[in-house]
């Protein structure tokens, strides 16, 4: 971590132990020649070591972080704390003028090593200048300095070793997550041998893991005769016509997980009366695309089927009774209140709630008088404008369905609902009748399935991650070996070379730490809530996953990212998914053009971001094969692909288009065949 502190005005936030250690070095006599100035040390805990040390040396201190923002002339802020309130406060800082150095545990250690090395360099220079020293004394000084650099490198290597052990422990925890998951899950390898059969599977089927694991008898709980499970279909790479022979019209390609299949079927052998099961199987692949096995998840739909049939029956009976007794207020009220779903009647123009049934009171925790007169939108997610827009555009006698919308109970608890709204007449008044269905459990299980898919993806990322970590470790090893060899041979190392090697070690340690941090963030369970973010962040993270692949394919990358973009409202992981899809498609297109061309092909991937009116725009361009007009018309259709059989599902671009629409965005394509393609994606800026 190399930072030129010379002449800077420094502010410090956080007075913990690393702060004091760094202050001790910065305030040492040797470092005075850098002519920097520490303006303030801030921490809400006035007795912190760093604060007390600063006071003892006459440096101003404060317990109010806001004070830091009012000090004029600050060049850099050293931040040792991650308080939630700090994010809001530091938004006021002009980052074009002031640099903010976020020092977590590892970065603080690297920074301390750097300034300690700088301190020792200054000491050595002074001794050489002020004293007449023979060659042996100079060599001894440089030996001591080299030893300190080596000790710093060893310490940081030990830190990285600990991080690697943490990563292995995380892999173990992922296995425990599968075993402890409430979703019935089993895994087979590429030889169709069962390797995992979790407790939820045992409870669903009545078959114990010790009876099945290590065998190819995963079919036994479901069939009376041997037949491939959906996981076997994936591992076997069976063509679609064979899958249809086994599963008929009940199977389909998953819209949630790429290259996965799903189906819904009744199994008479499960339980006493049989069970309806929804099952999804997805491949587990190596980094080079070889299928290593498959994971299959199961969901018991038996109760859902029964409830659905009961609701359909009730809805049918309700429709018949309503037509028969529509002039009878008493009978209408009985049907209205006894409907199993919450029902809201609201004004057509203002969305003011005019009436609710008993189920609405019970589900939302309000009494009727607390709901009447209020807007229906008050119980919805205030940041979601799609409901208002949809209701305003609803035509007379029309209907609309809103899926997976957040609603709030009286106690502010949120849950997910599907909302069916029809335009009707009530007491000679134009109204909207809304019926809501609680789908919270389904959304949570869907989220768990997505997370399971994300955990499976980590296996594919493992080789790429190993490459990204091995490279900096190799640099560190080479630098360390070179320093030791030169010391053993008594060769004086030039100061510039020594500094260069030390900086290489520090930079590559930081690089390895960044890879590990990104993998941890990718594996973490994420919420469904949209958040404000800068579109540049997920774009940059794409290259943590695909950087090595782009290099292997000899593709030149041009990033032209506007750092002053307004924020958009989205989810980081889903935006990263969009750009991963576009970049991988661009790689395939440029490789295909190279294969078809006799002359050398310039392979360039360009990503630009900029603001345009009230939109944030991202352009992804390639010099690949391009598209015909027919391909451009069909590119966003599910299952449409121009790739060879087995190399693409045709779902990636369709899913990306769906995500873009979810965030209120648009996508345009500029392309001519044999002249590359440009995808122009726009999202509304957050004011």
DSSP string, 320-387: HHHHHHTT-HHHHHHHHHH-SS-EEEEETTT-BEEEE-HHHHHHH---HHHHTTSBGGGGB-TT--HH
State the maximum Cα–Cα separation within the chain, in Å, rounded to a whole number: 112
Residues, the chain: 687
For tokens 């189906």, the residue is: 263
The pLDDT of residue 109 is 82
pLDDT tens string 464-520: 465 567 667 766 777 787 778 778 877 777 778 778 778 878 877 776 776 676 666
Tell me, letter by letter, the H, E, C secondary structure of 117-175: HHHHHHHHHHHHHHCCCCHHHHHHHHHHHHHHHHHHHHHHHHHHHHHHHHHHHHHHHHH
> Checking DSSP bridges between strand 76-79 and strand 9-13, what pairing results, if any?
parallel
Is the CB of residue 192 less than 8 Å from the CB of residue 232? yes
Neighbours of 597 (CB within 10 A): 11
The pLDDT of residue 511 is 67
For 225-253, b/e burial (b = at least 16 CB within 10 A) is eeebbbbbbbbeebeeeebeebbeeebeb
Is the CB of residue 106 less than 8 Å from the CB of residue 520? no
Averaged confidence pLDDT in the chain:
81
φ, ψ for residue 271, nearest 5 deg: 70, -170
How far is it, in rounded angstroms, from Cα 606 to Cα 627?
Answer: 17
What's the mean pLDDT in 248-254? 89
Kindly tell me if the per-residue pLDDT of 526 is higher than 70: no
Give the confidence band of 460 by pLDDT, cuts at 50, 70, 90: very low
Kindly tell me if the per-residue pLDDT of 457 is higher than 50: no
Highest mean pLDDT among 368-382, 425-439, 539-553: 368-382
Which candidate, 217, 212, 243, 249, places its Cα nearest to that of 230? 243
How far is it, in rounded angstroms, from Cα 426 to Cα 347?
Answer: 10
Give pTM, 2 decimals.
0.35
The pLDDT of residue 563 is 92
Kindly tell me if the per-residue pLDDT of 174 is higher than 70: no
Kindly tell me if the per-residue pLDDT of 458 is higher than 80: no
Q: Give every strand in the sheet of 399-408, ordered side by side.
A: 353-356, 343-347, 430-438, 414-425, 399-408
Domains of the chain listed by start with CATH number: 1-132 (3.40.50.720), 181-300 (3.30.450.20), 341-438 (3.30.450.20), 530-684 (3.30.565.10)
Highest mean pLDDT among 112-116, 469-473, 616-620: 616-620
Cα angle 639, 641, 645; round to 5: 95
Kindly tell me if the per-residue pLDDT of 367 is higher than 50: yes
Percent of the chain with pLDDT over 90: 30
What's the mean pLDDT in 333-347? 84
Is the CB of residue 111 less than 8 Å from the CB of residue 103? yes
The pLDDT of residue 288 is 60
Tell me, letter by letter, the H, E, C secondary structure of 575-606: HHHHHHHHHHHHHHHHHHHHHHCCCCCCCEEE
The pLDDT of residue 645 is 47
């Amino acid at each position: 971590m190399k930072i030129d502190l010379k002449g800077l005005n420094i502010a410090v936030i956080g007075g913990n132990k690393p702060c004091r250690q760094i202050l001790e070095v910065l305030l040492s006599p040797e470092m005075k020649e850098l002519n920097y100035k520490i303006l303030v040390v801030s921490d809400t805990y006035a007795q912190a070591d760093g604060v007390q040390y600063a006071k003892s040396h006459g440096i101003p201190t404060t317990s109010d972080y806001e004070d830091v923002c009012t000090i004029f002339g600050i060049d850099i802020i050293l931040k040792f704390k991650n308080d939630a309130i700090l994010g809001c406060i530091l938004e006021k800082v002009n980052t074009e003028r002031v640099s903010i150095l976020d020092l977590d545990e590892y970065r603080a250690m690297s920074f301390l090593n750097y300034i300690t090395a700088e301190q020792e360099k200054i000491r050595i220079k002074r001794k050489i200048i002020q004293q007449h020293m023979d060659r042996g004394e100079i060599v001894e000084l440089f030996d001591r300095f080299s030893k300190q650099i080596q000790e710093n490198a060893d310490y940081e290597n030990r830190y990285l070793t600990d991080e690697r052990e943490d990563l292995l422990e995380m892999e173990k925890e992922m296995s425990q997550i599968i075993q402890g998951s409430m979703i019935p899950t089993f895994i087979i390898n590429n030889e169709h041998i069962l390797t995992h059969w979790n407790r939820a599977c045992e409870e669903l089927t009545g078959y114990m893991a010790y009876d099945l694991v290590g065998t190819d008898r995963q079919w036994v709980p479901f069939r009376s005769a041997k037949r491939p499970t959906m996981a076997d279909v994936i591992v076997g790479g069976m063509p679609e016509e064979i899958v249809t022979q086994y599963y008929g019209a009940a199977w389909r390609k998953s819209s949630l997980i790429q290259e996965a299949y799903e189906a819904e079927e009744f199994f008479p052998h499960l339980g006493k009366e049989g069970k309806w099961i929804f099952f999804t199987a997805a491949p587990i692949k190596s980094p080079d695309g070889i299928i290593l096995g498959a994971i299959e998840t199961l969901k018991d739909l038996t109760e859902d089927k029964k409830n659905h049939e009961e609701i359909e029956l009730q809805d049918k009976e309700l429709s018949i009774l309503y037509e028969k007794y529509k002039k009878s207020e008493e009978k209408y009220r009985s049907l209205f209140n006894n409907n199993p779903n919450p029902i809201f009647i609201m004004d057509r123009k203002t969305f003011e709630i005019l009436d609710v049934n008993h189920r609405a009171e019970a589900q939302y925790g309000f009494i009727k008088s607390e709901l009447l007169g209020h807007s229906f939108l008050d119980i919805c997610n205030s940041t979601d404008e799609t409901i208002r827009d949809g209701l305003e555009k609803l035509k007379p006698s029309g209907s609309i369905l809103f899926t997976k919308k957040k609603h709030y109970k009286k106690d502010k608890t949120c849950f997910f609902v599907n909302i069916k709204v029809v335009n009707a007449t009530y007491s000679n008044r134009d109204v909207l009748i809304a019926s809501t269905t609680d789908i919270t459990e389904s959304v949570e299980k869907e989220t768990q399935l997505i997370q399971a898919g994300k955990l499976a993806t980590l296996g594919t990322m493992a080789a790429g991650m190993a490459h990204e970590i091995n490279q900096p470790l190799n640099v560190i090893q080479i630098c360390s070996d070179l320093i030791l060899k030169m010391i053993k041979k008594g060769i004086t190392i030039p100061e510039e070379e020594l500094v260069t090697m030390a900086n290489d070690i520090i930079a590559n340690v930081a690089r390895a730490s960044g890879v590990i941090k990104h993998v941890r963030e990718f594996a973490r369970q994420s919420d469904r809530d949209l958040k404000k973010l800068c579109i540049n962040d997920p774009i940059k993270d794409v290259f943590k996953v695909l950087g090595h692949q782009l290099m292997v394919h000899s593709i030149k990358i041009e990033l032209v990212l506007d750092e002053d973009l307004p924020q958009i409202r989205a989810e980081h992981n889903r935006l990263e998914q969009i750009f991963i899809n576009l970049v991988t498609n661009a790689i395939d297109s440029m490789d295909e053009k190279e294969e078809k061309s006799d002359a050398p092909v310039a392979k360039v991937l360009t990503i630009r971001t900029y603001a345009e009116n009230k939109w944030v725009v991202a352009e992804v361009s390639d010099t690949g094969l391009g598209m015909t007009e027919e391909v451009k018309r069909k590119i966003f259709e599910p299952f449409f692909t121009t790739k060879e059989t087995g190399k693409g599902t045709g779902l990636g671009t369709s899913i990306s288009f769906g995500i873009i629409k979810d965030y209120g965005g648009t996508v345009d394509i500029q392309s001519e065949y044999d002249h590359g393609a440009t995808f122009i994606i726009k999202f509304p800026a957050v004011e």
